[in-house]
């Protein structure tokens, strides 16, 4: 049976809405120039956080299963928006950066590919409205 998720986002003041997700309160808002009081981030970019969080979990899980050691792992995103109203992400570029032994770089690349092409639901959704590209950056292995 298909899974279902439910959330409830409650308005407080300004442009602030608060949602309790897995026990954590997430508040979105705008800055005063758009009627808000800056109680939280603007909502749209949470989609990018969902994207890095999702593919990040996949990559860490796969590296752990392969017993590959690494440090300094981060995922950056540069997302270009359309000029339209409403503005939507149209080009989304992910940069995976990691410090890992040269012998393990191919495994890391495989983990990223598996996530982006198979396991990560958020990237599957993004691909329906945006062009997704990626690059891998290898930091020198720990000295």
- Listed in order, strand segments (DSSP E) in 36-69 are none
DSSP code of residue 112: H
Q: Which listed residue (37, 44, 107, 138) binds a copy of itself by CB under 8 A? A: 44
Report, in Å, the least distance between residue 117 CB and a copy of itself: 9
> Which residues lie across from 27 on neighbouring strands?
18
Binding of a copy of itself by 36 (CB under 8 A): yes
**Residue 27 dihedral angles phi and psi, to the nearest 5°:** -115, 130
Residue 76 CA to residue 53 CA, distance in Å, equals: 11
Part in contact with a copy of itself (CB under 8 A); list of ranges 8-16, 103-111, 133-141: 8-16
Report, in Å, the least distance between residue 76 CB and a copy of itself: 5
Residue 125 CA to residue 92 CA, distance in Å, equals: 12
Report, in Å, the least distance between residue 103 CB and a copy of itself: 21
Q: Which listed residue (37, 42, 101, 139) binds a copy of itself by CB under 8 A? A: 42
């Amino acid at each position: 049976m298909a899974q279902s998720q439910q959330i409830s986002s409650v308005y407080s003041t300004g442009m602030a809405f608060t949602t309790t997700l897995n026990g954590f309160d997430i508040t979105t808002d705008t800055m005063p120039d758009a009627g808000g009081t800056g109680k939280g981030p603007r909502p749209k970019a949470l989609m990018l956080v969902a994207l890095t969080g999702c593919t990040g979990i996949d990559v860490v899980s796969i590296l752990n299963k392969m017993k590959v050691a690494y440090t300094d792992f981060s995922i950056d995103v540069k997302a270009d928006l359309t000029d339209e109203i409403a503005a939507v992400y149209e080009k989304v570029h992910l940069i995976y950066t990691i410090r890992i032994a040269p012998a393990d770089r191919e495994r890391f690349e495989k983990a990223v590919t598996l996530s982006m092409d198979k396991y990560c639901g958020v990237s599957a959704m993004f691909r329906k409205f945006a062009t997704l590209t990626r690059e891998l950056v290898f930091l020198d292995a720990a000295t």
